[in-house]
Chains A and B, each alone.
Chain A
């Protein structure tokens, strides 16, 4: 037996495939929820300008305050807004902290560039329990050297929820990285990252909703000011998205799609 053949006998899942224990409902739920999250705005220069220029024109007409979210890269008004990030040297690392969690990507990226770092940071709308967490992502051959702290020391004790993540980046870091943090969603904005629907600040916080009837969960949601524009129903390996389901169906899960709108997973069987 050669070395590779011998190693095959060590496969920890030989004869016990974990994929066999994953139900259709789990697969459908993950696929649906990821597919419902918005795609990030591309940072290619042309694409940024095409998207942002009309928004800038509209913003100046509607409200001056809105200009803070449509700054073009290199705009001199960015400086007037102050630093979006703070950088502190710690040995061979730079500790990077988010000072302004509502800044746009261009401001972060400009500040990273000032420190000769080819890093992009994007804040995307998250459901309440995910705010401040980092659901993704590091890229580039050396980016595992970037260390991330989701709960900086003292933050939880101080009760300043959400904790703002910090990053430790090697001073000589020459690779690329794309970091993403979830921020609170603005009214009407589609949620990119969703937490458990009974999590902190979420639509069904404190409710043991699994296997309650759809009519029961709807009553609770309506009381809390939420609507359900759509359902997900899995059967025989396919998932449908009906606008309504029988009120006697059982609720299996759910997630926030935008402020006060929830999608529920429902099933005819308990």
Chain B
């Protein structure tokens, strides 16, 4: 198959960028301690999307973008972030530090327990609760079958619920033997 004309390619990318810039930005900001770091990661994700535009599934670009974003974030956590000149302005926009919201005891307890989960469980649950993915989209992000994604999500929920029931607000959770801290 021949490549599409450059104008068509650019128009396709522009559509993707305009529609999903904010979704991908929110994905990174939710998972980073320093909000401005999201600028480089966002730039890297869309640079990859531009280079691999032909690989993006028709009609379902967002799970694909989240899949790339997960790997970009994993690289960042290993200290391998590249600084992009093309993200300078966005970095400046994101420098403002948001105020800490007032939270009730129940929510603080849930947050404490959520942090006890493994990275993998936290990511699964976050993709569903924060990014609003269904299991088909979750499967696309994780690169597994829908049934595998469903089972993994179910297990993550069970582990969270078990931890919640083992603790009361303001107290450390009692750990089950062999369970990950």
Report A's interface with B, CB cutoff 8 A: 3-4, 6-19, 21-23, 25-27, 29-31, 33-35, 37, 39-40, 42, 127, 129-130, 133-139, 141, 143-144, 147-148, 150, 180, 193-197, 199, 252-253, 255
A39 & B9 in contact (Cβ 8 Å cutoff): yes
State whether A9 and B107 are in contact (beta carbons under 8 Å apart), knowing that A35-B13, A40-B51 are contacts in the complex. Answer: yes
Is B152 in contact with chain A by the CB < 8 A criterion?
Answer: no
User: Which of the listed residues A8, A21, A143, A196 has the most CB atoms from chain B within 10 Å of its own CB?
Assistant: A21
B46 & A34 in contact (Cβ 8 Å cutoff): yes
Is B175 in contact with chain A by the CB < 8 A criterion?
Answer: no
Closest 10 CB pairs of A and B: A7-B129, A19-B22, A196-B85, A33-B86, A26-B89, A195-B85, A18-B29, A26-B90, A144-B74, A16-B98
State whether A7 and B48 are in contact (beta carbons under 8 Å apart), knowing that A34-B43, A150-B82 are contacts in the complex. Answer: no
The A-contacting residues of B in range 131-168, CB under 8 angstroms, are 143, 157, 160-161, 164
A7 & B125 in contact (Cβ 8 Å cutoff): yes
A141 & B143 in contact (Cβ 8 Å cutoff): yes
B88 & A196 in contact (Cβ 8 Å cutoff): yes
Q: Which residues of B contact A255 (CB under 8 A)?
A: 85-86
Is B172 in contact with chain A by the CB < 8 A criterion?
Answer: no
Counting chain B residues whose Cβ lies within 8 A of the other chain, the interface size class is 35 or more
Q: Which residues of B contact A7 (CB under 8 A)?
A: 110, 114, 125-126, 128-130, 160
State whether A4 and B125 are in contact (beta carbons under 8 Å apart), knowing that A9-B110, A35-B14 are contacts in the complex. Answer: yes
Instruction: Output the nearest chain B residue to A1 by Cβ-Cβ distance.
Output: B106
Is B118 in contact with chain A by the CB < 8 A criterion?
Answer: no
Which residue of B53, B94, B111 is within 8 Å of A10 (Cβ)? B111
Q: A10 CA to B164 CA in the complex, in Å?
A: 14
CB distance from A100 to the nearest CB of B (A): 22
State whether A4 and B129 are in contact (beta carbons under 8 Å apart), knowing that A18-B25, A21-B93, A143-B71 are contacts in the complex. Answer: yes
Q: A134 CA to B35 CA in the complex, in Å?
A: 22
- Chain B interface mostly: helix
B143 & A30 in contact (Cβ 8 Å cutoff): no
A34 & B107 in contact (Cβ 8 Å cutoff): no
* 14 residue pairs bridging A and B, Cβ less than 8 Å apart: A7-B125, A11-B129, A11-B130, A13-B29, A18-B25, A21-B93, A26-B92, A26-B93, A30-B89, A34-B17, A37-B47, A40-B51, A144-B74, A195-B85
CB distance from A51 to the nearest CB of B (A): 10
Is B78 in contact with chain A by the CB < 8 A criterion?
Answer: yes
Q: A176 CA to B9 CA in the complex, in Å?
A: 25
A135 & B82 in contact (Cβ 8 Å cutoff): yes
B101 & A15 in contact (Cβ 8 Å cutoff): yes
B13 & A23 in contact (Cβ 8 Å cutoff): no
Q: Which residues of B contact A136 (CB under 8 A)?
A: 44, 47-48, 51
The A-contacting residues of B in range 70-119, CB under 8 angstroms, are 71, 74-75, 78, 80, 82, 84-90, 92-94, 96, 98-99, 101, 107, 110-111, 114
A18 & B35 in contact (Cβ 8 Å cutoff): yes
CB distance from A163 to the nearest CB of B (A): 13
Q: Which residues of B contact A14 (CB under 8 A)?
A: 101
B17 & A31 in contact (Cβ 8 Å cutoff): yes
Which residue of B25, B48, B90, B98 is within 8 Å of A137 (Cβ)? B48
